[in-house]
Structure 1
């Protein structure tokens, strides 16, 4: 087999390329971002992730290469972003189509094009096939089309790449089995081969299930707050039932999976995806709900200035540096619309300035505020709870105990 050309070296493409290379596959990684490619060629990773640096070192030793150029080879793995249109909620496949177009300009007949990017059901039929056929290739003869949606999450990428089950969707089962063999070079989980549209749907449904489950917990939090009930105790008791597993409420949903993928179904099936639509709106409302709780606590404690309030955490989840769709950023944007700037912000994983009033040291941050809003449950805050003594705390994750003046959602 010739080298595998992995297109897109972001949160999904880079770990995938490194994992393949470290398991004996010849890999060339391609990205249009010259600065990113230069950083990788200088021997440095472009984001923080447990085990990523070690994996990077192994891949470099195995000969992985990074470039801005598309390669002439027989296998392409496309792992580029798939945002959604804010108005229609439909998937925006422009990055996938652009990557496929560039592949068509260099690939040889017989090549397999594997789409790893998460897309809505029918996206490959609607956007990818026409782009391939436009270039004069016959799909199934000149070009083989495959969908192998990623199934990993920041914070645990290396482990999940190795152990998670995978789905391979292909027109031709023989091609699907060939791509399965490629992923089997590192994947220890079960790999299922099916058709492309089923693979598209299963990935979106997985994330939609989680989003709806989270929305139920968030709605419970709002109901319990309205009548002064303890949502965490209620969930704890309910989950003692053998067939109940309610998730925990939180300040919002971020990242590029749960906060995005379910909208694809809403966009494509607006008259059918009613529960999903309402669940997504519930999750999207949580940053505003946190902001309301902040104002309630300020009023109760006679705090007159919001510049004595600090948000702990900028990332969308704990112990990563990924800020995509971050609830904290959503809350700050909402606060701007209320014309009440002044909230202070700190995150140990974000070492550069991204917002106003941002701090880079926990002690300095805490010294300048009276109310701490725990937006992200980084290990750092769990290990420094004693430093919160004497502060008012809005704990959005129910992680703080044995301290006075702790509020919840």
Structure 2
């Protein structure tokens, strides 16, 4: 049996995938509401294919509980935030989960950490936590780091098809965990040491963050000099060794907007490019807000209540708002003492900000300037309804006359 600890964006799909492929699974979460919801037959967030996977897992007899189980394999998939001042990883949730596992696990158990951590976190925090209670690592407890590699909006497909990395102290234990993931993963699974696994996951997200920052900086340069950044990127990407990503209003989610800071926090005198790249990305919501001011001035708009932000989530077609550029922009707006911006997102059904709408037509009726912050399919399929509006498109999806980054 496998006990999956943490039933959020990573733990739940992993638990359901294992269960639906013949592995006995118990999912554990400290949050009573999440456990109750899963027991009632509902999933706790929206994701393409998740409800169907949930049904298969329930048919295979997956269980959900607040209690840690006595078993041989534990998969820990709890959040790993970072300290916004030091930029270092905060391992508190991982350590709490480890301690709870150690309270019940038998000797010889394997603890697999899926949570993304900075290089050296397992040596610095996890190993001491285990040895302090008298367990010998490699004998009483086996440690593995198998960082997830999936993205909201395409989790189910990527769980099956993406390559994976398994870091382990013992190659035999690493191969055992590789076989466990092979029950559903069709991608290549590489077995390596733990520190290498820690570093590779963070480096993957850092590479993407730096690439996005280059595109964002290029957008600012092109804006300054009256050039079309999208045309320039398109032409540059025709070169066989160039692949510039698209600029945007900021970077959200719990990976690209967070993981690179781990390297900045741990290697402050070395991670200079990474540090500047993250500052560039973090500055994009302010850049967008300043563009809104410029566009309002150009069109003689003085009332912020006539401006609407389309999209609250951090990416298209998901309900995940973690580190959302729109939320960052709204916070920045408060600091600028301007109020009244209207907001709408088809995937956010609860009120989370002021002046939030839950109907697209009602949202559009009350505004003159619409700012496309997220490229949900809903708006991509109905772009014609914006033809009477002033459009500021930060996602490069609108085909008519509009303002861009």
Interval of TM-score (by shorter of Structure 1 and Structure 2):
over 0.9
List gaps (5 residues or longer) in structure 1.
Answer: none
The alpha-carbon deviation at position 304 of structure 1 amounts to 1.1
The alpha-carbon deviation at position 227 of structure 1 amounts to 1.0
Match of 1:293 in 2: 291
Match of 1:389 in 2: 387
Aligned counterparts of 2:10 and 2:329: Cα–Cα separation in 1: 26
Aligned counterparts of 2:279 and 2:255: Cα–Cα separation in 1: 15
- 1:378-405 deviations in Å (ceiling 9; x for gaps): 000011111101100000011110x23x
Match of 2:354 in 1: 356
- 1:337-376 deviations in Å (ceiling 9; x for gaps): 0111100000000011000000000000000000000000
Aligned counterparts of 1:180 and 1:304: Cα–Cα separation in 2: 59
Match of 1:90 in 2: 88
Segments ≥4 residues shifted beyond 4 Å: none
Q: Spell out the pairing of 1:130-149 with structure 2 (5 A cutoff).
A: 130-149=128-147
Aligned positions, number: 405
Match of 2:37 in 1: 39
Match of 2:196 in 1: 198
* SS at structure 2 position matched to 1:207: helix
Match of 1:376 in 2: 374
Aligned counterparts of 1:35 and 1:238: Cα–Cα separation in 2: 49
- 1:254-288 deviations in Å (ceiling 9; x for gaps): 00000000000000000000000000000000000
Aligned counterparts of 1:16 and 1:301: Cα–Cα separation in 2: 50
Match of 1:61 in 2: 59
Aligned counterparts of 1:78 and 1:243: Cα–Cα separation in 2: 38
Match of 2:17 among 16, 19, 41: 19
Match of 1:326 among 324, 333, 336: 324
Aligned counterparts of 2:85 and 2:2: Cα–Cα separation in 1: 37
Aligned counterparts of 1:35 and 1:15: Cα–Cα separation in 2: 18
- 1:181-234 deviations in Å (ceiling 9; x for gaps): 100000000000000000000000000000000000000000010111110011
Kindly report the root-mean-square deviation, in angstroms, between the aligned alpha carbons of the 2 structures: 0.4
Aligned counterparts of 1:169 and 1:88: Cα–Cα separation in 2: 27
* SS at structure 2 position matched to 1:98: helix
Structure 2 residue 161 is matched with structure 1 residue 163: yes
Aligned counterparts of 1:303 and 1:151: Cα–Cα separation in 2: 44
Aligned counterparts of 1:239 and 1:182: Cα–Cα separation in 2: 39
Match of 1:227 in 2: 225
The alpha-carbon deviation at position 242 of structure 1 amounts to 1.0
* SS at structure 1 position matched to 2:104: coil
Query: Could you tell me the TM-score, scaled by structure 1's length?
Result: 0.99
List gaps (5 residues or longer) in structure 2.
Answer: none
* SS at structure 2 position matched to 1:105: helix
* SS at structure 2 position matched to 1:15: helix
Aligned counterparts of 2:30 and 2:183: Cα–Cα separation in 1: 27
Aligned counterparts of 1:73 and 1:368: Cα–Cα separation in 2: 57
Aligned counterparts of 1:400 and 1:112: Cα–Cα separation in 2: 51
Match of 2:404 in 1: 408
Query: Could you tell me the TM-score, scaled by structure 2's length?
Result: 1.00
Match of 2:3 in 1: 5
Match of 2:267 in 1: 269
* SS at structure 2 position matched to 1:240: coil
The alpha-carbon deviation at position 72 of structure 1 amounts to 0.5
Aligned counterparts of 1:144 and 1:35: Cα–Cα separation in 2: 32
Aligned counterparts of 1:119 and 1:379: Cα–Cα separation in 2: 33
Structure 2 residue 293 is matched with structure 1 residue 279: no
